[in-house]
Amino acid sequence: MSRPSRGPDPTAIDTSRRPFVLVWEVTQACNLACDHCRADATPTRHPDELTTEEGKRLLDEAREFGPGQLVVLSGGDPLARPDLTELVEYGTERGLRMTLTPSGTSSLTPETVRDLGNAGIQRLALSIDGGSPEAHDSFRGEDGSFEQTVQAARAAREAGVPLQINTTVCAQTADELPVIRDLVADLDAVLWSVFFLVPVGRGRILDPVTPERAERILSWLTEVSEEASFGVKTTEAPHYRRVAIQRRRDSTDAPQSDGIGRRLGIIAGNGFAFVSHTGDIYPSGFLPKSVGSVRKSSLVERYRESDLFQSLRDPDQFSGKCGACEFRHVCGGSRSRAYAHTGDPLESDPLCDYVPAEYDGPMPVGRASDD
């Protein structure tokens, strides 16, 4: 299966019209029991999961966003669906850029990775949350997960499938980051996606890092990105852009770029959309506030026209210190974390340590105080 050519220039995407990333949670089923699981995954598939035909209709609709739409098949463990390869092929044939985030289980064999590569998968994203088998397996809740993940990573490179490594940052994993950085390089990954914990699903039982520690980690990540052979991006920590700008410019004048050459403004609902295993449309999997179901509504229309998505794309509607912040148009804070702590997605992100110079209002709800 030939893969679609490179997608549209990310800097040219109008995120009021289309998401840069569309995530479809193809199933909630997974054999792992990770401490941080957003999906509250279970061993069995939900009886009301989108069917193969419904999934294909969803992929047809994703094309309407525009050429080369990026689609991430997530879970649970997408490999729990027997039609996964069929769905990858279907999307690829229609010009979608199909990527996958499988779990590190015994299902993730080199043969499976090769089959998915042949079906047209454009990127495999694997999670590594510890720099040793002991640390990773204990976080993921299954012995052997580290070895299976590393084996799959090597298989992806051998099959010519670009590799992404995802890592969760919380108090339990933060000390592992330097070792994981070295592993990302050893595995020849193209991107390290560093996810800052949002307390949803089973992630509620973990401890977030404090804003001060998050700031130190973000600053360190900008150094890593300047030296590493791979790219670095953060998930649910858009203040990485603010930190990068401050490091580069030592100035806070109306910033228009993130200083690390990355497209701005991709946060929940603004360049990002999520479809759940039963078809609900959310701004993000970490912001589970539905604006309708793909079974009854148009995904494209809901993304462009729903009040929630429109408000998430308007930083001038944000409240608290995010609303007062001069970086709100390039950062905007994690809308998911604001929602998790307050029930209001337009509130401030409690993980950010920055306080705008003239701001004298309340500090965000949910600031962690100790690591």
Binding stretches for ligand SF4 (CB under 6 A): 239, 242, 321-322, 325, 327-328, 331-333, 348-349, 352, 354
Q: How far apart are CA 126 and CA 108, in angstroms?
A: 10
Q: How far is 6 from 69, CA to CA, in rounded Å?
A: 10
In the complex, least distance from residue 321 CB atom to ligand SF4, rounded to whole angstroms = 5
Smallest gap from Cβ 307 to ligand SF4, in A, equals: 21
Phi, psi angles (nearest 5°) of residue 69 = -55, 135
Q: Which tokens sit at 23? A: 């995530």
CB 256, CB 330: distance < 8 Å: yes
Judge whether 270 and 263 are in contact, CB under 8 Å.
no
Contact 371, 208 (CB under 8 A): no
Our CB check for ligand SF4 shows the closer of 135 and 338 to be 338
User: Which one, 18 or 328, has the nearer CB to ligand SF4?
Assistant: 328
| CB atoms near residue 244 (< 10 Å) | 24
Residue 274 corresponds to which tokens in the numbers above?
């999520």
Q: In the complex with ligand SF4, which residue's Cβ is closer, 77 or 347?
A: 347
Structure token pair of residue 90: 């279907």
Taking the complex as a whole, how short is the minimal distance between the CB of residue 270 and ligand SF4, in angstroms? 13
Rank residues 102 and 211 by Cβ distance to ligand SF4 and give the closer one.
Answer: 211
Taking phi first (over 0 means left), then psi (-120 to 50 degrees means alpha), and beta for anything else, what does residue 127 get? beta
Q: Nearest approach, Cβ of 132 to ligand SF4 (angstroms)?
A: 33
- Closer by beta carbon to ligand SF4, 286 or else 354: 354
What's the min distance (Å) between Cβ of 346 and ligand SF4?
11
CA-closest candidate to residue 193, choices 105, 100, 265, 128: 128
Smallest distance from the beta carbon of 291 to ligand SF4, in angstroms?
A: 23
Q: Which is nearer to ligand SF4, 220 or 359 (CB)?
A: 359
